[in-house]
Amino acid sequence: MALAAASLNDVVVRRSGRAILDSVDLTISEGDRWAVLGPNGAGKSTLMRLLAARLHPTSGTVDLFGERLGRTDIFELRPLIGLASQELAETVPVEEKVLDVVVTAGYGIVGRWREQYDEMDLDRARVLLDAFGVADKADRMFGTLSTGERKRVLSARALMTDPELLLLDEPAAGLDLGGREELVRTLSQLAKDPATPVTVLVTHHVEEIPPGYTHALLLRHGSVVAAGPIGETITSQNLTRTFGLPLVVDRHGERFSARSVTLS
């Protein structure tokens, strides 16, 4: 059997005496594209930090590409993982040139630290910016971009190292409707491309799940409500349990939408 990209076994993360992830079991396999959903505070970003080898579990085990967190050199693991998150966005210097924000991913840093980069790296960074519709922003300062433009740049950055695992934490948050739809289309094209690595995307909204996503994980209060193939997991019953209010999910081809049910 192929090695799992990520395998979590009975994972607990405890903070201030509270389990912010509780008994989480999860296997992410080669070719999978996972959407992770749950209300604010459910533990989604904490899960992403584990998958990014930026956090160790309090108990249980996390294996990334067969290497166990805590027993392996995380600095060897991290280049295999492309991460785009708000936490990372906040570490980017506002005066950093957009092209450099992307290209520095290849050097495992944020913030420009040398004057010259390889022309091949710069070309790749431009191609990725183009794929996310922000090639025309390459020479701008990161701090002058809109929220949505920053999200796109960081998604491009996450792919710069040609990672084995792509982690996108709320890539569509703060985008307007047109921007969201464009991003969903870009992410869908990526999802359907066999060359794209295993992907895990966090979102608050089923509308943001790109076509081509194969699996979903629903979290509430740090626990898994449901996990599995997307069509079986994104259901009215599971969403209702996850968000704690009566919800109806509709499916339109490969897209989902959800609305609350008014109880009379």
Ligand X SMILES: Nc1ncnc2c1ncn2[C@@H]1O[C@H](COP(=O)(O)OP(=O)(O)OP(=O)(O)O)[C@@H](O)[C@H]1O
Q: Is there binding between residue 155 and ligand X (CB under 6 A)?
A: no
Q: How far is the CB of 40 from ligand X (least distance, A)?
A: 3
Q: Is there binding between residue 38 and ligand X (CB under 6 A)?
A: yes
Q: Is there binding between residue 41 and ligand X (CB under 6 A)?
A: yes
Residue with token string 């049910």:
261
Q: How far is the CB of 166 from ligand X (least distance, A)?
A: 18
CA distances from 244 to 20, 40, 173, 232, 240 (A): 17, 12, 21, 19, 6
Query: Which of 134, 170, 171, 139 lies closest to 153, judged by CA?
Result: 134
Dihedrals phi, psi of 6, to nearest 5 degrees:
-145, 140
Q: Is there binding between residue 229 and ligand X (CB under 6 A)?
A: no
Q: Is there binding between residue 185 and ligand X (CB under 6 A)?
A: no
Cβ 166 vs Cβ 196: under 8 Å: yes
Nearer of residues 23 and 189 to ligand X, judged by Cβ: 23
Q: Interface with ligand X by CB under 6 A: which range of 34-42, 96-104, 121-129, 246-254?
A: 34-42
Q: Is there binding between residue 125 and ligand X (CB under 6 A)?
A: no
Query: Which of 87, 105, 80, 224 lies closest to 156, judged by CA?
Result: 105
Let me know the angle formed at the C-alpha of 132 by 195 and 201, rounded to the nearest 5 degrees: 65
Q: Is there binding between residue 40 and ligand X (CB under 6 A)?
A: yes
Q: Is there binding between residue 262 and ligand X (CB under 6 A)?
A: no
Query: Which of 80, 165, 94, 175 lies closest to 134, judged by CA?
Result: 175
Q: Where is 101: in which H helix or E strand?
A: helix 98-103
Q: How far is the CB of 33 from ligand X (least distance, A)?
A: 19
Nearer of residues 50 and 138 to ligand X, judged by Cβ: 50
Q: Which of residues 4-33 bind ligand X (CB under 6 A)?
A: 15-16, 20
Q: Which of residues 43-62 bind ligand X (CB under 6 A)?
A: 43-46
How many Cβ atoms from other residues are within 10 Å of residue 2's Cβ?
Answer: 7
Q: Interface with ligand X by CB under 6 A: which range of 36-44, 102-110, 120-128, 141-149?
A: 36-44
Q: How far is the CB of 88 from ligand X (least distance, A)?
A: 14
Nearer of residues 22 and 149 to ligand X, judged by Cβ: 22
Q: How far is the CB of 186 from ligand X (least distance, A)?
A: 22
Q: Is there binding between residue 206 and ligand X (CB under 6 A)?
A: no
Report the alpha-carbon distance of residue 207 to residue 210 in Å, rounded: 8
> How many residues belong to the site for ligand X (CB under 6 A)?
11
Three-state SS at 29: coil
Dihedrals phi, psi of 77, to nearest 5 degrees:
-75, -40
Report the alpha-carbon distance of residue 19 to residue 173 in Å, rounded: 26
Q: How far is the CB of 231 from ligand X (least distance, A)?
A: 23
Let me know the angle formed at the C-alpha of 185 by 80 and 52, rounded to the nearest 5 degrees: 20
Q: How far is the CB of 200 from ligand X (least distance, A)?
A: 13
Binding site for ligand X (CB under 6 A): 15-16, 20, 38, 40-46
